[in-house]
Amino acid sequence: MAVRIGDEAPDFTADTTEGTIHFHEWIGDGWAILFSHPKDFTPVCTTELGYMARLKPEFDKRNCKIIGLSIDPVSDHQAWVGDIEETQGHAVNYPMIGDPDLKVAKLYDMIHPNASGDKARTAADNATIRSVFLIGPDKKVKAMLTYPMSTGRNFDEVLRLLDSCQLTARHQVATPVNWKHGQDVIIVPSVSDEAAKQKFPDGWRAPKPYLRIVPQPKD
């Protein structure tokens, strides 16, 4: 079955480079990023995992754990991490799930349901598994991204997306096009003007009644 925004993130038990995890238990009461890559020892994936390691302190500040996945075994992950550190300058500092039986990949609809996982798998089998799932403390999927095999993801955008989702969760605001942390935000339509006066006593500017703009709230 397809996983959609608002669904509970499928729970699972899996082997990782940091031992066996039970996913929901591993998330705890914070946020989480589950991201997959097509295959170990490949060029685009090497750059991605190194960059995500560099960004990990930023996710830590936001109470968000990160965890990688591919349909390679954990032993391959462990053999590959040296290459990542050597070429990207950052050692992998988060767990990587080994999913050779495709259990998690299929659970999250990241790979074709008929993919076999054998060594002869084709590029078509791999094409859907450069995915990102942003999961909230309630264990529900808040956002999803899927990229083709040939395109490395922008993990700065994933961090921006996390900031936006966390603001919405805390303050009932949305973020406009190309928003960056610290810029003005929008009061969500579900908040009435009366309720907004309580939440935003300094008021707002409204080019249209449905477009109520306020400075980003401070935590």
Residue from 33, 45, 92, 162 carrying the catalytic annotation = 45
Q: Which tokens belong to 176?
A: 């406009």
Which of 125, 128, 180, 122 has the alpha carbon at shortest distance from 151?
128
pTM: predicted TM-score of the whole model, two decimal places: 0.92
Q: How far apart are CA 110 and CA 36, in angstroms?
A: 8
Q: Which tokens belong to 137?
A: 């403390």
Question: Residue 117: its pLDDT value, please?
Answer: 60
Sign of the C-alpha dihedral, residues 25, 116, 51, 170?
negative
Intra-chain end-to-end CA distance of the chain, in Å: 37
Distance from CA of residue 28 to its chain's centroid?
16
Under a CB-based contact definition with an 8 Å cutoff, are residues 35 and 69 in contact? Answer: yes
Consecutive sets of 10 residues in the chain, 219 residues long: mean pLDDT of each?
A: 92 98 98 95 96 98 97 96 98 96 91 66 64 98 92 96 97 97 96 96 96 94
The radius of gyration of the chain from alpha carbons, rounded to an integer in Å, stands at 19
The secondary structure of residue 187, as a DSSP letter, is E
45 is catalytic: yes
Domains and CATH numbers, the chain: 13-153 (3.40.30.10), 172-214 (3.30.1020.10)
Question: Residue 137: its pLDDT value, please?
Answer: 98
Q: 130-135 and 141-147 as β-strands: parallel, antiparallel, unpaired? A: antiparallel
